[in-house]
Amino acid sequence: MSVHVIPPVVEVTVASSVDVMCASDAARRVTDLQGFSPIYQAMAAGAAQSLAEWLCRTQKEHKIEFYGLQSEQGTGFQIACKLNWVKGINAHNIEIAMQAKLADLVDEISLKPETDFILHLTLWLSEERKAIVRMKGDTS
């Protein structure tokens, strides 16, 4: 499947609790630009916040990327973060832990050791997830 990144690509460095707020805000801003409705923007922000909080517990600096996606499946939003510090831990166990924490907030969670342990959290933009855009003066 061919996947293309849709700009902007926003990168947030997470090292402290203040950065958790920045990650949440970045997710909300990028999903807004991709056309997600506010409820799904909040879900993406919640996933970003949960991931950033988890990363803060490692007491190491991490970079999280936020961007739009375009594929045969449609348009979406993705959070990506390199977790090379988990080498030696079963990637499947980490995916299960992420599923338990984030499955209600995102559509797909993947962590592939062959991609240098990059965690991808994906939310796809379906018709019901699109923001309702009204023309100025439209009262319907």
State pLDDT tens for residues 79-103.
Answer: 999 987 777 777 788 888 889 999 9
Average pLDDT, the chain: 87
Residue 71: both structure tokens together: 């594929």
What is the model's pLDDT at position 1? 65
User: What gap in Å lies between CA 41 and CA 30, rounded to an integer?
Assistant: 8
Closest CA relative to residue 77, chosen from 130, 134, 16, 20:
130
Q: Give 16's contacts (C-beta < 8 A, 6+ positions apart).
A: 56
136 has pLDDT over 50 = no
Strands 74-82 and 108-112: unpaired
Name residue 18's amino acid.
Answer: V
Q: Do residues 15 and 56 make contact, with C-beta atoms less than 8 angstroms apart?
A: yes
Q: Where are the domains of the chain?
A: 3-123
17 has pLDDT over 60 = yes
User: What gap in Å lies between CA 140 and CA 134, rounded to an integer?
Assistant: 9
What is the model's pLDDT at position 132? 62
Q: Do residues 68 and 6 make contact, with C-beta atoms less than 8 angstroms apart?
A: yes
As a CATH number, domain 3-123 is 3.30.565.10
The reported pTM is 0.86
Which own/partner contact pairs does 100-108 have at CB distance under 8 Å and 24+ positions apart? 101/50, 101/54, 102/47, 102/50, 102/51, 104/43, 105/43, 105/44, 105/46, 105/47, 105/50, 106/43, 106/44, 106/47, 106/79, 107/76
